[in-house]
Amino acid sequence: MIPTLYWEDDVVMILDQRKLPGKTVFMPCRDMRRVIYCIQTLATRGAPAIGVAAAMGLALAARSIRIKNKDLFMERFAEKVEVMRAARPTAVNLSWACDRILNLVAKSDLDIEGIKALIKDESQRMLDEDIEINRAMGKNGAAVVPDPAVIITHCNAGSLATGGYGTALGVVRAAHEAGKKVSVIADETRPLLQGARLTAWEMVQEGIPVKVAVDSSSGVLMSREMVDICVVGADRIAKNGDAANKIGTFNLALQAQRHNVPFYVAAPLSTVDLDTPTGEAIPIEERDPAEVTHIGGRLLAPPEADALNFAFDVTPNDLITGIITEVGVLKAPYIESLSRAKAGLISKE
Ligand SMILES: CSC[C@@H](O)[C@@H](O)C(=O)COP(=O)(O)O
């Protein structure tokens, strides 16, 4: 499996996902601004991967601060954390990673050089932990996947979107590893085609059968009983279980409800934001309209036409059959199960 991002000495190497599936190119990042550029242009993307990239970017930021006074260093570092936090709004893992690093630094009595090393080590720990969490989530999720199963997914919630292994695709991988006969329908995921480019690529690498479908085909596919289960990722799950994910996920969930197909969200507990009460309060990123009007630099629409480019939507909790996490498959009422899981009261369902 090709890594999404990793440390090479003191440089953060980020796989440029914009070039996949054609080319495997790593972007060396030597400062925080370069990491933010990768996050904002979607060179690296997916909620957990954004969190890890943020932590690595903060390690680069800390290293660049030349101040010798510890209080002033802390002040300057806190400013940089806020710049990183603002890089993309929807995936809460970014903010979660920023807080984790800030809290660690605040508690440490190390000197400035020690703190710089601590942040770098922590970012590596977050990468390693993320892979472990995804494997646990995959195992929990595989139990709800029928055998055989056609699994439909949206966007890319795979190895590329995480430290490795994936959330929704981690469930697919784990079911496949457990010997279940699974195949995948990858929604192409307009406008940036993460499904066609990335999910299909990951499944091909893994030897798991995959078919790419246009986003609007879920109705016909489900009405013909061609889908057994939906598994998607999430960028932020509100306290009541409403889940933000790539634009089009809500439409998929509505089709699933109409056709009695189970609809699961797979996400680590770091994606659960108890400070956001409902989906209405989740900030939804709006991106450049040119991403909608153009493909590969070619204009599709009349030049006079404007476009809407909401990057995410929110699936209301009542459309979600279960939330697959590292501690188990959580069920409604989510306000209870999510709070208990975040409080560490559920170690295994
Ligand atoms: C495990 S990743 C879950 C989500 O982050 C993923 O489904 C998604 O919507 C990614 O959106 P993107 O805009 O490509 O970052």
Rounded mean pLDDT, 197-209: 98
Residue-wise pLDDT tens digits, 135-176 = 999 999 999 999 999 999 999 999 999 999 999 999 999 999
Residue-wise pLDDT tens digits, 83-124 = 999 999 999 999 999 999 999 999 999 999 999 999 999 999
Question: For ligand 1, atom 9, which residue shows the shortest CA distance?
Answer: 246
**pLDDT band for position 349 (cuts 50, 70, 90):** very low
CA of 31 to the centre of ligand 1 (A): 24
Would the CB of 315 count as within 6 Å of ligand 1?
A: no
Name the residue of 39, 235, 237, 323 to mutate for ligand 1: max ligand atoms within 8 A of Cβ.
235
CA of 160 to the centre of ligand 1 (A): 10
The reported pTM is: 0.97
- Is 279 annotated as ligand-binding? no
Residue-wise pLDDT tens digits, 286-318 = 999 999 999 989 999 999 999 999 999 999 999
CA of 11 to the centre of ligand 1 (A): 25
Would the CB of 194 count as within 6 Å of ligand 1?
A: yes
CA of 110 to the centre of ligand 1 (A): 36
Would the CB of 93 count as within 6 Å of ligand 1?
A: no
- Is 46 annotated as ligand-binding? yes
Count of beta carbons in the 10 Å neighbourhood of residue 110: 12
Residue 336 CA to chain centroid, in angstroms? 23
Is 235 in the active site? yes
- Is 258 annotated as ligand-binding? no
**pLDDT band for position 242 (cuts 50, 70, 90):** very high
Would the CB of 90 count as within 6 Å of ligand 1?
A: no
Do 5-134 and 140-342 share a fold? Answer: no
- Is 125 annotated as ligand-binding? no
CA of 114 to the centre of ligand 1 (A): 34
Range 140-342 has CATH code 3.40.50.10470: yes
pLDDT at 195 > cutoff 90: yes
pLDDT of residue 348: 58
- The amino acid occupying position 236 is R
Rounded mean pLDDT, 191-208: 98
Would the CB of 46 count as within 6 Å of ligand 1?
A: yes
Name the residue of 40, 155, 169, 312 to mutate for ligand 1: max ligand atoms within 8 A of Cβ.
155
**In ligand 1, which atom is closest to the CA atom of 192?**
14
pLDDT at 212 > cutoff 50: yes
- Is 138 annotated as ligand-binding? no
Would the CB of 48 count as within 6 Å of ligand 1?
A: yes
Would the CB of 233 count as within 6 Å of ligand 1?
A: yes
The mean pLDDT of the chain is: 97
CATH class of this structure's domain 5-134: mainly alpha
**In ligand 1, which atom is closest to the CA atom of 46?**
5
Residue spans of the domains in the chain: they are 5-134, 140-342
CA of 65 to the centre of ligand 1 (A): 32
Which of 345-348's residues contact partners 24+ apart within 8 Å by CB, and which partners? none
